[in-house]
Structure 1
């Protein structure tokens, strides 16, 4: 009876040895900062970041009753609703095109996936020039068509859309690479058999392609949602939370409270609430969407 127990203990010890580096990194870069953030959120702080007085849940109550925080939730929600589904749909369309056997397709694949090598700061600066109301390329093209220019970043409605388009472009390369890997795993025999049965191109796409790459689509849904909710650089470069707080997401709001207002406890409370929001969204995605994913 002791032999199986000893073997199980030995296997557990070996597993822990191999997991130790990953667990150490997780503790150093995730668990410890998260615990520290929660701890700081329970205190008022001085402008230098020192803990001043115990606040308990007072800062959480202030946060949840703040109109500015509700505005931040709305901005983050709109940002995610624009950037995530449309970004994945665009990447899927381009990945399907990149999966075709055509002359020069390798150049097309490289071009479409090249955005993965562009940092968020550089990409945001490129779009800042494109969105310039006086010298930007977009308004110049509109003027050639006899149309009035658009205040891409100065109008609250268009600012959120412009920010979402920038984010879609920044994650496009990664999304295409992931989806292209999924498409290349779909057996050609399925398409050939469906064509023999008279299936149209639309039927091939919705009945074969989408179901078989649904694990990759679900992966991107989870990853892109987290990435968009944590986005900072493009907001800081393009809009700085404006106009009239239209793009002041939760992340940018906690940045302003921490590094401009020096309310580190209040900012930590926002960070922990954001963590809970991301956690709940991820759990809901796995609970209600993941069961519909088709695994081969």
Structure 2
């Protein structure tokens, strides 16, 4: 018995509608895919390509050297020094930023009168660019006119050369970075706290748990997905920090604030060694990728998803 022409037409219409939906989706995604390829994928592939060559000051290919750029890089004390500085910077800024965000979000989540004003104040750093924040903190760190040394003078303590003393420069930039990231951390953590139902707090009070025990035993596990997200994002951001070092210290004094990204900038755009700079960028990319995978493999197991 032959198939009805109406049935065949219906099947053809269904097939066309199934094809139209993915085509429409790709059409809407096309601008994002184009921008992603132009500004992310192409530079990454270009960096892989340049890392295998020596280049002239104009960035043109001069000679193929294979993996020599990577061998030279791994044998360079300056590379390992900048990597150590990046590690110290991350160890200070990531836990410090999360702790400050937790404290501010816990305070802002309390139902006290006037908390809306503090929520606005706590989120203000998010609206400031790195350059604007650097100028503000440059004035605060000023050795003679800065507010920090003014308070030290009132306390009878000697002034500190915040940005010119190798013992204090990295710590000073870390404190500034923690403040810069506090707005984003605060907003994300506050949204997580507001997503926890009041029943959790009420049941904890009925069980006789105090505020600290409630926060540690109940609230913090429920916040663990948000904390995990911020940990991953903050760690990536700490290894990509550049603006505050470039504006405030230029990697000094004595290389104490020369993080890996600033070393890449110097190698590529000051020394015009684009091949070595690309090799450093690839190493940084692989390092961030490995650290992110480690967090997803080992740390995510302790995350309590609701």
With normalisation by structure 2, the TM-score equals: 0.92
Partner of 2:190: 180
Shift of 1:152: 1.2
CA distance in 2, matches of 1:7, 1:70: 57
Shift of 1:27: 1.3
Greater alpha carbon shift after TM alignment, 176-185 vs 19-28:
19-28
Mapping 1:118-129, distance limit 5 Å: 118-129=128-139
Shift of 1:24: 2.1
Partner of 2:33: 23
CA distance in 1, matches of 2:182, 2:21: 42
Partner of 1:248: 258
1:58 to 2:68 alignment:
yes
Greater alpha carbon shift after TM alignment, 181-190 vs 155-164:
155-164
Partner of 2:5: none
Residues matched between the structures, number: 296
1:145-194, Cα deviation, whole Å (9 max, x unpaired): 11111121122221111110111111111110111110000011111111
Mapping 1:98-113, distance limit 5 Å: 98-113=108-123
- The SS at the match of 1:116 is helix
Greater alpha carbon shift after TM alignment, 153-162 vs 13-22:
13-22
Shift of 1:13: 4.5
1:194 to 2:188 alignment:
no
- The SS at the match of 1:52 is strand
2:282 counterpart (249, 253, 272): 272
Given the superposition, is the C-alpha separation of residues 273 and 3 from structure 1 closer, same or farther in structure 2, using an over 3 Å criterion? farther
With normalisation by structure 1, the TM-score equals: 0.95
Greater alpha carbon shift after TM alignment, 140-149 vs 7-16:
7-16
CA distance in 2, matches of 1:131, 1:20: 47
Partner of 2:81: 71
Larger Rg: 2
Shift of 1:124: 0.9
Greater alpha carbon shift after TM alignment, 76-85 vs 9-18:
9-18
Greater alpha carbon shift after TM alignment, 46-55 vs 105-114:
46-55
Unaligned 5+ residue runs, structure 2?
1-11
Shift of 1:219: 0.9
Given the superposition, is the C-alpha separation of residues 203 and 3 from structure 1 closer, same or farther in structure 2, using an over 3 Å criterion? farther
Unaligned 5+ residue runs, structure 1?
none
Partner of 1:95: 105
